[in-house]
Amino acid sequence: MTSSLAKPGGHVSSTHHKGPVERRLVRKIDFFILTFCCLSSFLNFLDRSNLANAYVSGMKEDLGFRENQLNEINTCFTVGYILGQIPSNLSLHYVKPRHFFPAMMVVWAALTMVTASTHSPQAIMAIRFFQGIAESSTFVGTHYMLGSWYTERELGKRSGIFTASGLAGTMIDGFIQSGIYTTMDGRHGLRGWRWLFIIDGLVTLPVALYGFLLFPDTPSTTTACYLGPSERALAVSRLHPKEQRTVPDSEAEEPTTTSPLSWAFARSVVTAWEWWGFVVLWIIAGETESFSSNALLALYMKSSPSAEYTVQQLNDYPTGVPAAGIVSTLFWAALTDFFGGKRYLVGYFIGITGVATSAMVLAAEKNSPNSTALVFGAYYWAGTVYACQATFFAWANDATRARGPVFRSVVLAGMNMGSNAVNAWWSILFYGASMAPWFTRGMYAMVATSVALVVWTAGLSYVAARHQAKPSWEESRPRAESEKGQEPMSS
- Chain segment 18-75, per-residue pLDDT in tens: 688 888 999 999 999 999 999 998 888 888 878 888 888 889 899 999 877 888 898 8
Whether pLDDT at 472 is above 60? no
pLDDT at residue 442 in the model: 93
Whether pLDDT at 481 is above 80? no
The mean pLDDT of 189-214, rounded to a whole number, is 92
Whether pLDDT at 381 is above 50? yes
pLDDT at residue 480 in the model: 43
Is the model more confident about 118 or about 8?
118
Quick one: 159 exposed, middle or buried, by C-beta within 10 A (0-12, 13-18, 19+)?
buried
DSSP string of 418-482, one letter each residue:
HHHHHHHHHHHHHH-GGGTTT-HHHHHHHHHHHHHHHHHHHHHHHHHHHHHTS-HHHHHHHHHHH
Angle CA 322–441–458, to nearest 5: 65
- Residue 14: partners with Cβ closer than 8 Å, 6 or more residues away: 4, 153
pLDDT at residue 394 in the model: 92
Whether pLDDT at 12 is above 60? no
The mean pLDDT of 487-491, rounded to a whole number, is 38
Whether pLDDT at 473 is above 80? no
* Residue 222: φ, ψ to 5°: -65, 140
pTM of the model: 0.76
Q: 140 and 325 in contact (C-beta within 8 Å)?
A: no
* Residue 134: φ, ψ to 5°: -65, -40
Out of 57-71, 167-181, 223-237, 408-422, pick the least confident.
167-181
What CA–CA distance (Å, rounded) separates 122 from 254?
A: 45
Q: 150 and 414 in contact (C-beta within 8 Å)?
A: no
Of 272, 252, 202, the residue nearest 464 (C-alpha)? 272
Confidence of residue 471 (pLDDT cuts 50, 70, 90): low
Q: 489 and 263 in contact (C-beta within 8 Å)?
A: yes
Whether pLDDT at 385 is above 50? yes
The mean pLDDT of 482-486, rounded to a whole number, is 40
How far is Cα of residue 281 from the mean position of the Cα atoms in its chain?
Answer: 14
Whether pLDDT at 264 is above 50? yes
Give the domains, in start order, of the chain with CATH numbers.
20-238+260-482 (1.20.1250.20)
- Residue 8: partners with Cβ closer than 8 Å, 6 or more residues away: 338, 339, 340
- Residue 225: partners with Cβ closer than 8 Å, 6 or more residues away: none
Whether pLDDT at 180 is above 90? no
Confidence of residue 249 (pLDDT cuts 50, 70, 90): very low
Q: What is the mean pLDDT of the chain?
A: 83
Q: What is the DSSP letter of 488?
A: B
The mean pLDDT of 331-342, rounded to a whole number, is 86
Confidence of residue 123 (pLDDT cuts 50, 70, 90): very high
Q: Please report how many Cα atoms fall inside a 13 Å half-sphere around the Cα of residue 17, on the Cβ side.
A: 9
Report the run of H or E that residue 305 belongs to, with start and end.
none
Confidence of residue 355 (pLDDT cuts 50, 70, 90): very high
DSSP string of 333-396, one letter each residue:
HHHHHHTTS-TTHHHHHHHHHHHHHHHHHHHHHHTTTS-HHHHHHHHHHHGGGGHHHHHHHHHH
Give the pLDDT confidence of 421-460 residue by residue, as tens digits: 898 788 889 988 888 889 999 999 999 999 999 999 999 9
Cβ atoms < 10 Å from Cβ of 243: 6
Confidence of residue 261 (pLDDT cuts 50, 70, 90): low
Report the run of H or E that residue 263 belongs to, with start and end.
helix 263-270
Whether pLDDT at 257 is above 70? no
Confidence of residue 17 (pLDDT cuts 50, 70, 90): low
Whether pLDDT at 487 is above 70? no
Confidence of residue 474 (pLDDT cuts 50, 70, 90): very low
What CA–CA distance (Å, rounded) separates 417 from 69?
A: 23
To 10 degrees, the CA torsion angle through 291, 160, 396, 147? 140
pLDDT at residue 245 in the model: 38
Quick one: 212 exposed, middle or buried, by C-beta within 10 A (0-12, 13-18, 19+)?
middle
Whether pLDDT at 13 is above 50? no
Quick one: 462 exposed, middle or buried, by C-beta within 10 A (0-12, 13-18, 19+)?
exposed
Out of 216-220, 235-239, 487-491, pick the least confident.
487-491
